[in-house]
């Protein structure tokens, strides 16, 4: 493993959890790649899958484009097949895969809190206990480690460990042309015994389609592309919608020290668990067969394996460096283009970087907001450029969305340096005011910084991503000092009005789902005092809910028309009281709900 020599900055541990099955032995953790057009799940057991992650809040494993709710796979997981030290027995280590009836033979090291998934953003340095002073390589690195011999792994039935340590670094980028793929770097180290005839590979269970529709996995088919060492999961047209959904690919990058002409490949696919084998001997034969199966023509719920070999021996203490990529695109040609780019940039993927995101201050006012940002992006340097630009910064862009942090985005303004051949030469600004807004409704803004293109490398301008820099802003007046002007909006609340259809929407679902549900209904109590208590009653005097307010900047609170026991309220006339907690004064009122 590499040791980096820079001062360490703050670290981020992502959603650390312990679960009953594995938590007594190992920490179970996950992270999300989110900076590009793809949202990709990563965990510390090797798979890109939420199995045994009870705190994972999303429905999707691999969403592309972001905000589309289009899923692409159920599982992508590495495996390792080899002969034992005496070359008489076969061994396979993999993750929990239903198609193979396998358990978690790869899993985290321990139940130490730091033995998890670490996130490192562009420009950060983090002290990871097993990799001190780790410097980010991409716009978003996720770093973790796992092995095949920890307590959880040893309890897997009929599992003979190979005693492998596996260090995984995944890289994602914010800007085109690299924002539609994720690179996974796997450093594999045998710790106890030499292994022989090693075949690494990937298990791939596709799931291409709209996640909230009919089962998207039922009409997929695989094609194999040997010129790219790549398997593509395709969606068949007609079953879930008028057109097929965006395909995805898994591409393997074998170790550079292997001669491509000497590598043998295996590609097999099967529908509905047809790859299912339960013992290492049969798995080893399957993974090392060298069979290239014909492309799939009949769609179905399909799984595939792609593996390469053989590596004659891997000695204790040696490290096998190999990579794979998950690639997303709008059609096959898009995938081929990204695959060719990956081949060009491998193995180091050292490319020009975007400027650091500016720090943004928000000033809320009545029906308007003002954004102010600092100048830290203007002095950044980039050693990976080929044009020798001392300061490659070029400008800023201001975006707005009325829907969510993932867009869709509208470009409000662009400011760039004058007197150069790039951009509009408008001149720099560090403030933007947006007016004519609705009060007490959420808007989303992003201020991004972008670079000059690298004309020597012929690499496009790089920009911080909207999602990575997005902020939620609610315009409105500050809280009142006294009670007496509190009102309810809308009043009456009418169930026959689609409040989700307005722009910006008055009601909208939680970001983890697309469909509106009953708990997404909303009314607001406006003109609240700084510290106040709202109590809601039925017309008969039954207490429905209590809402506490304590915010001098915000003069409103929302209610989702759900009681304190999480039951949706019925149509009717409701009463409310608002107490100014600073003065004891009280206001009463009523509102109407018509469903």
Residue 83 CB coordination number (10 Å): 19
pLDDT at 25 over 80: no
Q: Last residue of a domain, which of 345, 376, 409?
A: 345
First-to-last CA distance in the chain?
A: 62
pLDDT of residue 505: 93
Q: Last residue of a domain, which of 314, 345, 376?
A: 345
Q: Same structural domain for residues 131 and 240?
A: yes
Say whether 340 sits in a helix, a strand or coil.
helix
Mean pLDDT of 342-370: 95
The answer to whether residue 101 is domain-embedded is: yes
Identify the CATH number of the domain in which residue 508 sits. 2.60.40.4070
Domain count, the chain: 3
The answer to whether residue 354 is domain-embedded is: no
pLDDT digits (tens, 9 = 90+) for 377-416: 999 999 999 999 999 999 999 999 999 988 899 999 999 9
Residue found by looking up tokens 């959420």 in the block: 442
Q: Same structural domain for residues 137 and 193?
A: yes
The answer to whether residue 370 is domain-embedded is: yes
pLDDT of residue 215: 64
282 or 396: which leads in pLDDT:
396
Chain-centroid distance, C-alpha 141 = 12
Q: Same structural domain for residues 364 and 341?
A: no
Beta strand pairing call for 431-435 and 471-473: unpaired
Mean pLDDT of 494-505: 92
The answer to whether residue 478 is domain-embedded is: no
539, with CB counted inside 10 A (0-12, 13-18, 19+), is exposed
Identify the CATH number of the domain in which residue 277 sits. 2.70.98
| Pair of tokens at residue 333 | 């040609």
pLDDT at 21 over 80: no
Beta strand pairing call for 164-172 and 125-128: unpaired
Q: Last residue of a domain, which of 422, 439, 473?
A: 473
Q: Which domain holds residue 445?
A: 360-473
Identify the CATH number of the domain in which residue 392 sits. 2.60.40.10
Mean pLDDT of 141-164: 86
Distances (CA, A) of 383 to 388, 390, 476: 8, 9, 45
């Amino acid at each position: 493993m590499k040791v980096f020599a820079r001062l360490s900055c703050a670290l981020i541990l992502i959603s650390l959890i312990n679960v009953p099955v594995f938590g007594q032995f190992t920490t179970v953790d996950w992270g999300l790649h989110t900076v590009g057009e793809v949202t990709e799940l990563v965990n510390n057991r090797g798979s890109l899958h939420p199995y045994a992650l009870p705190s994972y809040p999303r429905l999707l494993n691999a969403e592309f484009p972001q905000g589309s709710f289009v899923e692409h796979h159920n599982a992508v997981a590495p495996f390792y097949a080899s002969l034992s030290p005496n070359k008489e027995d076969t061994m396979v280590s993999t993750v929990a895969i239903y198609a193979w009836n396998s358990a978690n033979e790869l899993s985290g090291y321990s139940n130490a809190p730091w033995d998890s998934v670490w996130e490192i953003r562009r420009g950060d340095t983090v002290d990871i206990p097993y990799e001190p002073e780790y410097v980010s390589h991409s716009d978003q690195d996720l770093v973790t480690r796992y092995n095949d011999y920890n307590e959880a792994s040893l309890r897997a039935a009929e599992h003979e460990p190979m005693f492998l340590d596996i260090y995984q670094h995944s890289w994602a980028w914010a800007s085109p042309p690299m924002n539609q793929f994720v690179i996974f770097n796997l450093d594999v180290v045998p710790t106890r015994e030499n292994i022989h005839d090693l075949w690494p590979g990937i298990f791939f269970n596709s799931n291409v389609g709209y996640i909230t529709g009919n089962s998207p996995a039922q009409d997929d088919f695989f094609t194999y592309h040997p010129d790219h060492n790549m398997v593509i999961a395709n969606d068949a047209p007609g079953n879930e919608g008028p057109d097929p959904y965006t395909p995805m690919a898994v591409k393997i990058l074998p170790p550079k020290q292997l001669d491509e002409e000497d590598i043998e490949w295996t590609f097999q696919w099967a529908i509905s668990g047809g790859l299912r084998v339960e013992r290492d001997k049969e798995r080893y034969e399957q993974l090392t067969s060298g069979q290239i199966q014909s492309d799939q023509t009949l769609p179905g719920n399909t799984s595939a394996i792609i593996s390469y070999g053989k590596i004659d021996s891997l000695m204790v203490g040696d490290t096998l460096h190999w990579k794979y990529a998950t690639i997303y695109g709008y059609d096959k040609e898009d995938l081929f283009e990204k695959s060719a780019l990956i081949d060009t940039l491998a193995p180091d993927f050292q490319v020009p970087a975007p400027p650091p995101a500016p720090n943004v201050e928000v000033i809320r006012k009545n029906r308007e907001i003002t954004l102010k940002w600092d100048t830290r992006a203007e002095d950044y340097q980039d050693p990976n450029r080929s044009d020798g630009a001392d300061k490659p910064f070029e400008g800023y862009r201001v975006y707005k969305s009325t829907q969510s942090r993932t867009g869709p985005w509208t470009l409000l303004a662009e400011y760039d340096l004058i007197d150069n051949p790039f951009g509009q030469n408008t001149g720099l600004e560090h403030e933007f005011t947006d007016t004519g807004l609705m009060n007490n409704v959420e808007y989303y803004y992003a201020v991004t910084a972008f670079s000059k293109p690298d004309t020597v490398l012929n690499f496009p301008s790089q920009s911080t991503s909207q999602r990575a820099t997005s902020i939620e802003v609610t315009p409105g007046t500050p809280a009142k000092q006294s009670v007496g002007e509190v009102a309810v909006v809308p009043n009456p609340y009418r169930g026959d009005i689609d409040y989700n259809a307005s722009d910006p929407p008055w009601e909208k679902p939680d970001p983890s789902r697309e469909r509106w549900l009953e708990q997404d209904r909303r009314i607001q109590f406006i003109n609240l005092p700084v510290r106040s208590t709202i109590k809601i009653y039925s017309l008969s005097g039954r207490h429905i809910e209590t809402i506490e307010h304590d915010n001098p900047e915000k003069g409103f609170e929302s209610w989702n028309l759900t009681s304190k026991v999480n039951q949706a309220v019925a149509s009717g006339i409701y009463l409310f009281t608002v107490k100014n907690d600073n003065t004891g004064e009280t206001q009463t009122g009523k509102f109407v709900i018509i469903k």
